[in-house]
Amino acid sequence: MRPLLYTSKEFWPFMAALTLITVVFIYAYMVQLSRGLGVTGLNDIVIWGVYIVNFIFFIGLSHAGIAISAAVRIMKLDRYAPIARMAEVLTLASLMMAGLSIVIDLGRPDRSFLLVTKFAARIGSSPLLWDITAVATYLILSTTYLYLPMREDLKVVRDRMTGWKKKMYEITLPGYGEDEAPVIKRLAWWMAVTILPVMVMVHTTVAWIFSLLSNRPLWFGAAAGPYFIAAAVASGLASVVVIAAVLRKLFHWEDILPPEIFRGLGNVLSIITLTYLYMMLVEQFTARFAGPAGEFFVSEAWLFGEFATIFWSITTIGLALPCAYLLIQAFRPGKINITMTAIVSLVIVIAMWFKRYIIIVPTLTVGGSPLLAYAPTWVEIAILAGSFSALALIYTTLLKLIPIIEMEEPHHE
Amino acid sequence: MSELLSLMVGLIGSLVGANQTNGMPLGYIVLIVVESPVVILILATLLGKPRKMKVTGLFLAWLGMMFAVFIIAVYALSYITGLFY
């Protein structure tokens, strides 16, 4: 309950900075709304840019929360229970930002209602609608999965608070009964079991938005689903490591978040990152050995052309080196450096954003015509910065409102 | 057994050969795959034990409320952004 009860003097300036960046983001979006997508670097040929990169990235972040939390619940990995809710909150915040990224990318968001009115007519053949359906289902289930098991803890918080705060928490507990815990526990187990396939389908349908387009080099392919899921789990898991390390430092949770948790997360992260590097290698082999000309040209742009700096930075500094560090750490029992683990995890998160960038942009821009050039404008950069700021704002606000660690054990007080 | 195998091969063939299988658009299959866990969850809530009708009701009400919030948010988005055109 420490985050709910105590506020440091740095908290308000931090929130003010985040709010300021978010306000700039809102202004930039209003400029885009009133003048149209012409204020971005997008055009009739390069139809997707940083907004869609953000969308895939945020969807990716959202995966770790449920993956960790469901694994803790189903496999009874009690050691990792303290990070489960941190991860669930990340899922919720990043899913909200993913949805917002899609809205921002729309040229005419005022026509969003067509999603509802044309649903039955379009669901049969529109991968975009499959994706929106999966994301909406995932968002609804994630909020349920976060809220129901948290009722016990909200009751504890309500009892500790006074005045308007007590009333506020009272509202969050409609129909609360002392004997509901076993029923909720069973329900939470079923939610953990059923939310995992939805989680897999979310990123599979995200991948299908790209991989079902047969004329787009390096998008079209059967392995896109697993490839996207590996990226999602890697970036999501890495984000949870970063968040857990920061909160551990801020709230002195050394006893609640022991080094073993970071070792375990680091081990899984190293394996997922290694798998992802393997998939990148396989993709390049396929594109270069006998792929159609388009595949080869995009691969050339990645490896030796205008995107080579980004590609090799991602591959070496962003993925291979952090993976090597985590693997070395895994093979040296007793040696764990939480700060370094958090830093290499942050590097992986950043690398995964840029990896999404080179998945999307080169396929649309490689070809030589000036019409195919793409560079984000100030509006896109403001919205990009604002999106991350809004994510941090949502997360920090939730951190101050709900118990971020399950309070089953007394020392969590 | 061989009939079952040939049926499966035929099904897979129709899946990869067109965007429809046995008259059913592929999107419906995706919809079934995405939504079936929700159906299983609701069934588990309604039929599983230990069971408490108040919690079951709360769960269903929460799901319903979240769904309603989503639909309302879509319409609100359309309305608010429509003010700019």
> Looking at the domain assignment, is residue A107 inside a domain?
no
Identify the closest residue of chain A to B81 by CA–CA distance. A110
Instruction: Give contacts of A123 with chain B, Cβ < 8 Å.
Output: 25, 27-28, 31
**Cα→Cα distances A272→A117, A260, A312, A343, Å:** 40, 18, 19, 17
> Looking at the domain assignment, is residue A179 inside a domain?
no
3-class secondary structure per residue, chain B: CHHHHHHHHHHHHHHHHCCEECCEEHHHHHHHHHHHHHHHHHHHHHHCCCCCHHHHHHHHHHHHHHHHHHHHHHHHHHHHHHCCC
Q: Does A271 touch chain B (CB under 8 A)?
A: no
Q: Which of A125, A180, A186 sits opposite B27 (nearest CB)?
A: A125
H or E element, residue A360: helix A338-365
Q: Which residues does B contribute to its contact with A (CB < 8 Å)?
A: 19, 25-28, 30-31, 33-35, 37-38, 40-41, 44-45, 48-52, 54-55, 57-59, 62-63, 66-67, 70-71, 74-75, 77-79, 81-82, 84-85
Structure tokens at B25: 């658009």
For residue range B6-51, list pLDDT tens digits in order.
666 655 555 554 455 555 678 888 889 889 988 898 888 888 777 7
Tell which residue, A62, A63, A59, has the closest CA to residue A132. A59
> Looking at the domain assignment, is residue A404 inside a domain?
no
R_g of chain B computed on alpha carbons: 20
Are B66 and A143 inside 8 Å of each other by CB? yes
Instruction: Give contacts of A144 with chain B, Cβ < 8 Å.
Output: 59, 62-63, 66
Domains identified in chain A, total number: 1
C-beta atoms surrounding A378 within 10 Å: 11
Phi, psi for A304 (deg, rounded to 5): -130, -5
Q: A34-50: buried (b, 16+ CB within 10 Å) or exposed (e) per residue?
A: eeebebbbbeeebebbb
> Looking at the domain assignment, is residue A180 inside a domain?
no
> What distance in Å separates the CA atoms of residue A181 and residue A158, rounded to the nearest whole number?
16
Instruction: Give contacts of A116 with chain B, Cβ < 8 Å.
Output: 71, 74-75
Query: For residue A411, what pLDDT is reported?
Result: 44
Q: Which amino acid is at A214?
A: S
> What distance in Å separates the CA atoms of residue B73 and residue B77, rounded to the nearest whole number?
6
> What distance in Å separates the CA atoms of residue A169 and residue A67, rounded to the nearest whole number?
28
Q: What share of chain A is helix, strand, coil (3-state, %, to 5)?
A: 80, 0, 20
> What distance in Å separates the CA atoms of residue A28 and residue A258, rounded to the nearest whole number?
42
> Looking at the domain assignment, is residue A353 inside a domain?
yes
Query: For residue A395, what pLDDT is reported?
Result: 94
Cβ contact A362:A285 at 8 Å: no
DSSP A103-156: HHH-S-GGGTTHHHHTHHHHTTT-HHHHHHHHHHHHHHHHHHHHHHHHHHHHHH
Instruction: Give contacts of B19 with chain A, Cβ < 8 Å.
Output: 125
> Looking at the domain assignment, is residue A313 inside a domain?
yes
Q: Which of A112, A126, A190 sits opposite B44 (nearest CB)?
A: A190
Instruction: Give contacts of A177 with chain B, Cβ < 8 Å.
Output: 52, 54
For residue range B44-75, list pLDDT tens digits in order.
888 877 778 888 888 888 888 989 999 999 99
> What distance in Å separates the CA atoms of residue A72 and residue A85, rounded to the nearest whole number?
11
Query: For residue B13, what pLDDT is reported?
Result: 55
Instruction: Give contacts of B79 with chain A, Cβ < 8 Å.
Output: 110
Identify the closest residue of chain A to B75 by CA–CA distance. A113
> What distance in Å separates the CA atoms of residue A302 and residue A313, rounded to the nearest whole number?
11
**Cα→Cα distances A203→A101, A351, A364, B84, Å:** 16, 18, 21, 33
**Cα→Cα distances B85→A30, A39, A104, A225, A229, Å:** 12, 16, 15, 38, 38
R_g of chain A computed on alpha carbons: 22
Tell which residue, A187, A234, A227, has the closest CA to residue A68. A234
Q: What angle do CA A63, A16, B73 make, to 5 degrees?
A: 50
Per-residue pLDDT tens digits of chain A, which is 413 residues long: 777 878 888 889 999 999 999 999 999 999 999 999 999 999 888 889 999 999 999 999 988 778 888 888 888 888 888 898 999 999 999 999 999 999 999 988 999 899 889 988 888 888 888 988 999 999 998 888 888 888 888 998 888 888 888 888 898 888 888 888 888 888 888 888 998 889 888 889 999 988 888 788 888 888 889 999 999 999 999 999 999 999 999 888 888 899 999 999 999 999 999 999 999 999 999 888 877 888 888 999 999 988 999 999 999 999 999 999 999 998 887 788 999 999 999 999 999 999 999 999 988 888 766 667 889 999 999 999 999 999 999 999 999 999 988 876 544 44
Query: Which residue range(s) make up the domain with A298?
Result: 214-369
Tell me the whole-structure pTM to 2 decimals. 0.90
Torsion of CA A144, A356, A80, A158, to 10 degrees: -40
> What distance in Å separates the CA atoms of residue A316 and residue B30, rounded to the nearest whole number?
37
> Looking at the domain assignment, is residue A283 inside a domain?
yes
Identify the closest residue of chain B to A184 by CA–CA distance. B55
Tell which residue, A349, A388, A382, A387, has the closest CA to residue A41. A382
**Cα→Cα distances A121→A117, A124, A147, B68, B73, Å:** 9, 7, 34, 21, 21
Q: Which residues contact A314 (CB under 8 A, 6 or more apart)?
A: A351, A354, A355, A358
